[in-house]
Chains A and B, each alone.
Chain A
Amino acid sequence: MSDQSEQLEDFEVLLRDLTDELVKEIERGALADAVNLLQTINDARNKDLYQQVGQLTRALHDAIRDFQLEGRAAANQKGAFSEMADATDRLNYIINLTHNAANRTLDKVEECEPIARNLGKEAALLRNEWGRLIRREMKPQEFRDLYRRIDLFLIETELQTGVLGGNFSEITLAQDYQDLTGQVVKKVITLVHDVEDRLVDLVRMASKVDRITGIQPMNANKKTEVIDKQIPEGPVVNAEKRGIEIVSSQDDVDDLLSSLGF
């Protein structure tokens, strides 16, 4: 961008110099020379401006193309990225990955839940029987049953805690999406920044063009963020910067609702 602004400055210098000359030529009455000078100014202006717009367009185009190429290169290295040639695919990939991770975790939790419940239930029953034994309320046959049940319970506990342990490590492993999605999100953020930088360049450039050509952009001063409270947007980020009032916790929600008579 710096050489582009230099070019613009060059043009301004040229414009100033040639205008002085132009006035002198007109005063001298050399109209043909004056017209030639006007032509030179016009040529320089066109050349500079079109060149710069061209350069920026190419830069933007390159940024988009680079991103797609990157996606394709990644596809050749890792099978998982084969259909991720653009940002939308990347983001869809994240949705899938987090969806699968959540389901895998919930599956395992649902598996663990009845195991823990049954162990607890059996332990409660045995503790009750054990109490009867301590209080010497137990007949010999009942004691033999209890003896056998405790043995079975210990075997079962050993076995089932093994299953629980296995499920716990699967739940832990299901959290590996954070690493993968983090990498993909970072890539998308980089792309967004690249495109933004180039757009900012383009806007800066356009404002220079406006300044030189004297064009007033339309609606230049109408820049407000209109927030429609009825349109949901999911979790709010940067609320303070955007001047949006949000609640920071469930307690805030409760306070707000109770202030409304809830």
Chain B
Amino acid sequence: MNKDMKILIVDDFATMRRIIKNLLRDLGFNNTYEADDGLTAIPMLNTGNYDFLVTDWNMPGMTGFDLLKHVRADPDLKNLPILMVTAESKREQIVAAAQAGVNGYIVKPFTAAVLKEKIEKIFERIQK
């Protein structure tokens, strides 16, 4: 796993973005950027050459679920690994996210260990 990979963190709460950013830094990922919803994330993704997307689900403007579907439908972005970190915990939502092509799903509140494990798993699977 490349520790210099470029990561976009999308969450409408600045505090949550900060927590995820700090946790990623502790895991050795320093190349992180932030967006506060899907609408601000898309132009960044289009031009930013990102390697990994960490997104919340429930956001005003454009939700993380819509962002997920948008990315998978875009020929230039469709292979971008996406980790969803969200308080949405209904079974049918998780199934819907999986069907839409999410690479990992973490329910809030979460721990640093879970974040680490999921990121490792995602990149392990991609490298295979």
Contact = CB atoms under 8 A, between A and B. Distances in A.
Contacts of B105: 253, 257
Nearest to A107: B18
B95 A256 contact: yes
Contacts of B65: 230, 232
Interface in B52-92: 57-58, 63, 65, 86-92
Interface string A98-141: 01001100100110000000000000000000000000000000
B12 to A, nearest CB: 11
B94 A253 contact: yes
Contacts of B86: 232
Contacts of B13: 99
A233 interface: yes
Given A232-B58, A234-B87, A234-B88, 17 more contacts: A99-B13, A102-B15, A229-B96, A230-B65, A230-B96, A232-B65, A232-B86, A233-B58, A235-B87, A235-B89, A245-B91, A247-B89, A247-B94, A250-B114, A253-B94, A260-B95, A260-B98
Given A235-B89, A247-B89, A106 B19 contact: yes
A99 B88 CA distance: 21
B123 interface: no
B35 interface: no
A178 B57 CA distance: 26
B121 to A, nearest CB: 9
B57 A232 contact: yes
A233 B58 CA distance: 7
Mostly, the A contact residues are: loop
Interface band, chain B: 20 to 34
Contacts of A249: 107
A244 B89 CA distance: 10
Interface string B1-42: 000000000000111001100100000000000000000000
Given A99-B15, A229-B90, A234 B58 contact: yes
Contacts of A233: 58, 88
Interface string B98-114: 10000001111010001
Given A230-B96, A250-B110, A253-B106, A244 B90 contact: yes
A234 B58 CA distance: 6
A229 B86 CA distance: 14
A236 interface: yes
B50 to A, nearest CB: 22
Given A232-B63, A232-B88, A250-B114, A110 B94 contact: no
Given A103-B15, A106-B15, A257 B98 contact: yes
A103 B14 CA distance: 9
Nearest to A235: B87
A248 B63 CA distance: 23
B114 to A, nearest CB: 5
